[in-house]
């Protein structure tokens, strides 16, 4: 799908969307926002950007895009994982 948007030059410059890598930069911004808003998974971010698992992890780390979990969420996930590994 091709998406086209009009952005004022001053804002495009501020967002670093006026250089030779503007399309890639815009795609990364969409991927990051999708991930931070929980609308995209890590796998989908990697697919969107054409990255391997490890490249995706590095990209998200470099962009400070960690999704924080509460202790309860972490413990619940750990319990599920423990159960799955014991089966």
DSSP conformation class of 6: -
| CA gap 24, 15 in Å, rounded | 12
Whole-number Cα distances in Å, 38 to 28, 45, 59: 15, 11, 16
Percentage of the chain beyond pLDDT 90 is 64
* pTM score: 0.73
pLDDT tens readout for residues 43-83: 999 999 999 999 999 999 999 987 766 788 778 888 888 88
Alpha-carbon distance of 87 to 51, in angstroms, equals 32
């Amino acid at each position: 799908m091709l998406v086209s948007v009009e952005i004022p030059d001053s804002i495009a410059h501020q967002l670093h969307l006026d250089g030779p890598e503007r399309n890639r930069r815009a795609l990364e911004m969409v991927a990051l926002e999708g991930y931070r808003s929980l609308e995209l998974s890590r796998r989908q971010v990697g697919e969107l950007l054409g990255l391997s698992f490890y490249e995706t992890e590095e990209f998200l780390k470099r962009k400070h895009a960690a999704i924080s979990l509460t202790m309860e969420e972490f413990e619940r996930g750990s319990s599920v994982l423990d159960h799955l590994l014991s089966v």
